[in-house]
Amino acid sequence: MSYTVVCLDLYCKKTNKDADPSYRVFVDDQLVIERIYWPKTPDFIIQEHITFNEDNQSHAIRVKNIFHERGKIRVGNIACFDGDTKKPLDINVDTQNGMYSFTLLKR
């Protein structure tokens, strides 16, 4: 079975020096990642990789900032790659109200 790796670039502007921001990543309304945003330098990003089976289904990813008073977290680039060959895939990702939706077709 083929699979696709979806890569999300997460950026953060910290607003609290005493506490790091935290975020959650939901896939199809299921919590899959909860993490503290740890880089101390503003030009760093965290790249999350989420693996999907190619199931001819639509999927949605949502990133939630847990503590808004600690910083602003935003999603930058979203890229999709073939899980076997690591080659980029041309998959349309629709962005609406912080939700990133796409359909993975079997190849």
Instruction: Compute the distance between CA of residue 18 and CA of residue 56 in angstroms, rounded to an integer.
Output: 45
Residue 43's pLDDT is what?
63
Task: Report pLDDT digits (tens) over 19-74.
Answer: 889 999 999 999 999 999 876 766 678 999 999 998 889 999 999 999 999 999 99
From the CA atom positions of the chain, what is the Rg in Å? 15
Task: Report pLDDT digits (tens) over 61-70.
Answer: 999 999 999 9
